[in-house]
Amino acid sequence: MARSTAATRREEDPTEVDGDLEGFIGYNLKRAYVVVSTDFRRIMGKNGLAPRQFSALSLIVQFPNITQSELARKLGIERSGLVAIIDDLEGRGFVSRQPVPGDRRVQALSATTGGQAAYAEAHKMVMAHEAELLSDLSPQEVETLVGLLQRIRSKGD
């Protein structure tokens, strides 16, 4: 047996309480995310989009005229936290806030032509970055990983 995980400990020796941090999902998720986000920032460059800005832009491209409240909900963050992200994307000329006829409280978000082009380019870079980070995994393993992560995510609803 090469590795001891929380799962195998639970199966093989339920009374075992040692210091093996390596078996915990939370610890591994955090460490893996640090590796991925560090590489994301490296490949996107000094003034490139940060992960959160990329995610927001992606959803604005995918859902034109989405409102800020709806976008915050999809991203799983507070409305207040989204303001700076949209300010940044607007400052880059990638996104515009537009009034919505019939409800003057709402701002509809849409990607500009430049924002769409920037997203297409960023998307390619992120695909390349993930392909390299996941080069040791088979396409089947990548699909399995995404599925398992999404099942954990679904516990947060």
Partner DNA sequence: TATTGTTATACTCTATAACTATA
Partner DNA sequence: TATAGTTATAGAGTATAACAATA
Q: Which is nearer to a second copy, 7 or 84 (CB)?
A: 7
What track of x and - describes contact with a second copy for positions 101 through 130 (by CB under 8 A)? ------------------xx--xx-xx--x
Options 14, 45, 80, 150; binder of DNA; rule CB under 7 A: 80
**Which of 107-133 are b and which e, b meaning 16 or more Cβ less than 10 Å from the residue's Cβ?**
bbbbbeeebbebbeebeebbeebeeee
Q: Which is nearer to a second copy, 99 or 131 (CB)?
A: 131
Contacts 24+ apart (CB under 8 A), 21-28: 25/152
Regarding 56 and contact with DNA (CB under 7 A), the answer is no
Residue 142 interacting entry, from a second copy, DNA, none, C-beta within 5 to 8 Å by type:
a second copy
Regarding 52 and contact with DNA (CB under 7 A), the answer is yes
Options 97, 112, 133, 134; binder of DNA; rule CB under 7 A: 97
108 contacts 98 by C-beta, under 8 angstroms: yes
DSSP element (H, E) containing 116: helix 113-133
Residue 80 interacting entry, from DNA, a second copy, none, C-beta within 5 to 8 Å by type:
DNA
DSSP-assigned letter for residue 137: S
Binding-site ranges for a second copy (CB under 8 A): 3, 5-8, 10-11, 17-40, 51, 55, 58-59, 61-63, 76, 119-120, 123-124, 126-127, 130-131, 133-134, 136-137, 139-153, 155-156
